[in-house]
Amino acid sequence: MDIESYLLKVVAIVDETADARSVSFEVPAEAPEKFTYKPGQFLTVAVPSDQTGLAARCYSLSSSPHDGGPLTVTVKRTADGYASNWICDNLKVGDTLRALPPSGIFTPASLDADLLLFAGGSGVTPIMSITRTALSEGKGKIVVFYANRDEKSVIFADELTRLSAEYPERLQVTHWLESVQGLPTPEQVKAFVEPYLAYDAFVCGPAPYMKMVTTVLRELDFPRDRRHQEKFVSLGGNPFGDVEELQRAEEEIALAESDEDGSAADVFAGGPAGPVKVEVELDGQDHTFDDWDPKVKLLDFLESKGVKAPYSCREGECSACAVRLLEGEVRMLHNDVLDDEDLSDGIRLGCQSLPMTDTVRVTYS
């Protein structure tokens, strides 16, 4: 099965700062339903590359799905980032980029919830999407803590000022500038968070910043279901390729590494000998199957059953396909994004998961 990708036409480009720009796309007329999205999700785009043909990168959507505006990502140039530099230097209105449909789980369960949003640098991009959407469609209060190197680095400064004036009773934005206040310390963040212990927290930014903030949230006993951290990395593989060809290659590798008698049993050692029963909750619907082949990844199996499970990279390098284990156990073949805390909380990557018990129950919520 080929991954569905689409050519998106660039309809607008806005320079947000000296090193960040927002790129707006026209949704393909033949597949508008594929590009419906939730605030906080991201696009996976294919940036042309002379060396590899393309570089696949995930960029968060900064637009709101409810205000009628175009599909927009915001990209900040990084010193050694090939794709971000290419987008900032070469992309222009009228060009097209290949993209996968929006994906990701960094989204509020309810737009009416009170939200505590932590952004660092370009990590404000999904935070902006969540803020815009929750203000226009929800009823809760929103507190944004936005850390930057200096005033010139603040993306969406004018928009955040405008929204604060429009929603003075609901939106509070705190700017933290390293050039003025130094780097925020755990003690300072803890003092900031304490009035908002009942809020739902979202954190996105550089890895050290996210680690510090999430550590503070854990120490303040924020439950996991109210504490969210955005996680994806630069993709090493090509999610735009032929998936069937990739699967055949994986099967050949497994057979090549098997015993001399040609059996591939050792490759999947420890798993069930026969079909597995799996129960999946997705978008409020329950799906139950009793014929999950232990050698087939969960995402591939669900797709074979017609279940439209979320995914993006299929390489274990982003969190778009993440599920939470409710019963049983699975083994992941590859994982570049989940940390020990995620694993202890039962989070697994559907695109990399093989069953290890006779019954498995998971949820995508």
Report the CATH number at residue 330. Answer: 3.10.20.30
Inside any domain, residue 1: no
Helix (H) / strand (E) containing 281:
strand 276-282
Residue 337 in domain: yes
Inside any domain, residue 341: yes
Please name which of 83, 295, 133, 119 lies closest in space to residue 201, comparing C-alpha atoms: 119
Q: Is residue 126 part of a domain?
A: yes
pTM, full prediction: 0.78
The residue count for the chain: 365
User: Of the candidates 53, 82, 103, which is a domain's last residue?
Assistant: 103
- Residue 244 falls inside a structural domain: no
| Block residue for tokens 């212990």 | 197
Q: Which two tokens stand for residue 288?
A: 């139950």
Report phi then psi at 71, rounded to 5: -65, 120
Q: Are residues 38 and 79 in the same domain?
A: yes
The token pair that represents 61 in the structure block: 């959507």
Check whether residue 63 and residue 139 sit in a common domain: no
| Separation of alpha carbons 193 and 195, rounded Å | 6
Mean pLDDT per 10-residue section of the chain, whose length is 365 residues: 78 96 94 93 87 81 94 92 91 94 88 97 97 97 97 97 97 98 97 98 93 94 89 62 44 40 44 91 92 94 91 78 93 86 88 95 90
Query: Is 70 a member of any domain?
Result: yes
Task: Mark whether 219 and 143 lie in a shared domain.
Answer: yes
Q: Cα–Cα distance between 355 and 269 in angstroms, integer? A: 11
**122 and 225 inside one domain:** yes
> Quick one: pLDDT at residue 238?
65
Q: Which residue, among 239, 189, 234, has the nearest Cα to 214 in the 3D structure?
A: 189
Contacts of 219 (CB under 8 A, 6+ apart): 190
Question: Domain for residue 245, yes or no?
Answer: no
Assigned domain for 125 exists? yes
| Overall number of domains in the chain | 3
Last residue of a domain, one of 103, 136, 154: 103
282 and 311 in a single domain? The answer is yes
Residues 198, 114: Cα–Cα separation, whole Å: 8
Give the per-residue pLDDT at 3: 60
183: amino acid identity, one letter: L
Q: Which two tokens stand for residue 344?
A: 């202890």
Q: Are residues 82 and 140 in the same domain?
A: no
What pLDDT is stored for residue 260 in this prediction? 39
Of the residues 209, 229, 249, which one is the last residue of a structural domain?
229
- The region, left, alpha or beta by phi > 0 then psi within -120 to 50, assigned to residue 221 is left
Each residue of 310-322: pLDDT tens digit? Answer: 887 787 877 778 8
Residue with tokens 């002379």: 50
Q: How far apart are CA 116 and CA 265, in angstroms?
A: 48
**273 and 342 housed in the same domain:** yes
Question: Whole-angstrom Cα distance, residue 40 to residue 60?
Answer: 7
Does 98 lie in the same domain as 185?
no
CATH number at residue 148: 3.40.50.80
Q: What is the pLDDT of residue 2?
A: 47
Q: Which among 21, 23, 61 is positioned nearest to 42, based on CA atoms?
A: 61
Q: How far apart (Å, rounded) are the C-alpha atoms in residues 72 and 344?
A: 35
Closest C-alpha to 320, from 205, 224, 239: 239
Give the span between the Cα atoms of 54 and 47, in whole angstroms: 5
**Helix or strand (DSSP H, E) at 25:** strand 20-26
Rounded Cα gap, residues 270 and 351, in angstroms: 19
3 state DSSP class of 282: strand
In a shared domain, residues 127 and 217:
yes
pLDDT tens digits, 21-72: 999 999 988 889 999 999 999 998 988 877 667 888 889 999 999 988 999 9
Helix H segments across 220-305? 243-256, 298-304
Rounded Cα distance, 209 and 184, in Å: 9
Q: What local confidence, expressed as pLDDT, does residue 35 receive?
A: 93
Residue 311 backbone zone (phi > 0: left; psi -120 to 50: alpha; other: beta)? beta
**CB count, 10 Å around CB of 173?**
18
Q: What is the Cα–Cα distance from 46 to 7, expressed in whole angstroms?
A: 10
Per-residue model confidence (pLDDT) at position 232: 58
In a shared domain, residues 189 and 271: no
The parent domain of residue 341 ranges over 267-363
